[in-house]
Structure 1
Amino acid sequence: MKETVAASQSKISLEQAMTLANKTVAGNIIIAGFDQEDRMEDNHYEIKIIANNNEQEVIVNANTGEVIKDEIERLDKEDLAEYNTMKQAKTSLPQAIKNANKTLNGTVLEAEFDMDYGKPIYKIEIGKGNQIYDVVVDSMTGKVLSSHVDHDD
């Protein structure tokens, strides 16, 4: 639960970090998440963006908004297939985050596109109070498919 507190105290939200990352690397964000460090000033967001069949990791400082390009790797066949499916989604990752957080109104900790359950979905992790919720959003309709307290963390 410390992660939820740290993320909620950050000057930069996950959504703002995604915008900053996309200004540095134009492309499609496939995953974005808060990463808590030992020192508050080192807390950051790790964001993966696909551009030109490469996956670029971008680090955004959660307090200053400073953007650092990190490692880049070529997509393999499986990643390319998943990415092509994501491009067909009618709901964007930022819209899925809004939909997921409408009822909870918490702090978004992580968001990613996934092909779990045999269909294209977004998995959104939201911290509220001392709970972390896993919310699944249909990437085609934007509807929240499920929302429950995560007992794994």
Structure 2
Amino acid sequence: MQTMKMLLGTAALSLILAAPALAASSDSDIAAFRQAKVSLTQAIAQAEQQGKGKAVDVDFDTKNSVGLYQIDIVSGETVTRWDVDASNGKIASADKQTLATWAQQLGAGVEPRELTAASTSLAQAIGIAENKGGGKAIEAEVDHDNNRLTYEVEVLNGNGTRTIRVDGATGQVMADKS
């Protein structure tokens, strides 16, 4: 447990600070996303229910011409990536790994207790960002900003995207970049 705290407290935090921001979505992903019948927040609710935990990262991708939300759910010491079909909301697949492995691979610096203590959930942050950005969220992730839990949400509006950062404690928009 001490190793886990050290990993998440120092090494992972330095990794997250060096990690790039949300990647821009490809044209094929955007086209598939526009056809989705299931919203990002609906997909998160499905994955959180299945995984009995909190969402910390969500991406939209296409596999074999099927639009999928890839949602990472933290539950205890496990992170499960749930692929949720964007056309019907059904779970397409799940892949589990330890929280330590996930943190090392993705550079996450978030401890599970931070997620349960946050006043604003990832799904709520997405709603705030969609309202501010005037569109639909296509990707979102939990992050740290000045030792605070934050959410970074990519919102697709019209032909472009906006990246909106939401404070996990207050739900306030901290940054809005076109």
Indicate how the Cα distance of structure 1 residues 13 and 4 shifts in structure 2: closer, same or farther if over 3 A, else same.
same
- How many residues are treated as equivalent by the alignment? 147
Per residue, is there more helix in 1 or in 2?
A: 2
Matched to 1:29, the amino acid is A
1:38 Cα offset (Å): 5.7
Is residue 35 of structure 1 aligned with residue 61 of structure 2? yes
Name the CA distance, whole Å, in 2 between partners of 1:56 and 1:7.
Answer: 22
Name the CA distance, whole Å, in 2 between partners of 1:57 and 1:103.
Answer: 28
| Counterpart in the other structure of 2:85 | 61
Q: Is the 8 A contact 1:30 1:48 kept in 2?
A: yes
Name the CA distance, whole Å, in 2 between partners of 1:142 and 1:91.
Answer: 6
Name the CA distance, whole Å, in 2 between partners of 1:128 and 1:58.
Answer: 26
Q: Is the 8 A contact 2:71 2:82 kept in 1?
A: yes
Is residue 99 of structure 1 aligned with residue 128 of structure 2? yes
Q: CA RMSD in A?
A: 2.1
| Counterpart in the other structure of 1:7 | 33
Name the CA distance, whole Å, in 1 between partners of 2:143 and 2:54.
Answer: 14
Is residue 88 of structure 1 aligned with residue 117 of structure 2? yes
Q: Within 5 Å, which residues of 2 pair with 1:3-152?
A: 3-37=29-63, 39=65, 42-76=66-100, 82-149=111-178
SS in 1 for 2:119: coil
Name the CA distance, whole Å, in 1 between partners of 2:160 and 2:134.
Answer: 13
TM-score, normalization: structure 1? Answer: 0.85
Tell me whether 95-104 or 134-143 shows the greater mean CA deviation.
Answer: 95-104
1:52 Cα offset (Å): 2.6
SS in 2 for 1:127: strand
1:64 Cα offset (Å): 2.2
TM-score, normalization: structure 2? Answer: 0.74
Deviation by residue 1:93-150 (Cα, 9 ceiling, x = unmatched): 111111111132312111111114432100101111111111000111100011111x
Contiguous gaps of at least 5 residues in structure 2:
1-25
Q: Extract structure 1 runs of 4+ deviating beyond 6 A.
A: none
SS in 2 for 1:65: coil
Matched to 1:110, the amino acid is E
